[in-house]
């Protein structure tokens, strides 16, 4: 069971910690979005290069 808050300072400190965690969560979410976009771009580039390599290989036959 969680302890009851004994005064406003502790309660304010708890609220500040929640805000800090929410900010950290938003920051992490933003970084994950950036990483996802980068991975999608890299995957698209890989597919483009693989397709180009396949067309060069076919020309050799």
pTM given for the model:
0.60
Q: Are 14 and 5 in contact (CB under 8 A)?
A: yes
Q: How far apart (Å, rounded) are the C-alpha atoms in residues 18 and 4?
A: 17
Residue 6 has what DSSP assignment?
-
Residues 14-19, mean pLDDT to the nearest whole number: 95
Task: Tell me what the pLDDT averaged over the chain comes to.
Answer: 85
Q: Which residue in this structure is represented by tokens 């992490």?
A: 28
């Amino acid at each position: 069971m969680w302890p009851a808050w004994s005064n406003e300072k502790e309660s304010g400190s708890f609220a500040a910690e929640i805000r800090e965690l929410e900010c950290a969560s938003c920051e992490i979410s933003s970084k994950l979005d950036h990483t996802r976009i980068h991975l999608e771009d890299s995957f698209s580039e890989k597919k483009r290069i693989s397709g180009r390599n396949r067309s060069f290989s076919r020309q050799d036959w």
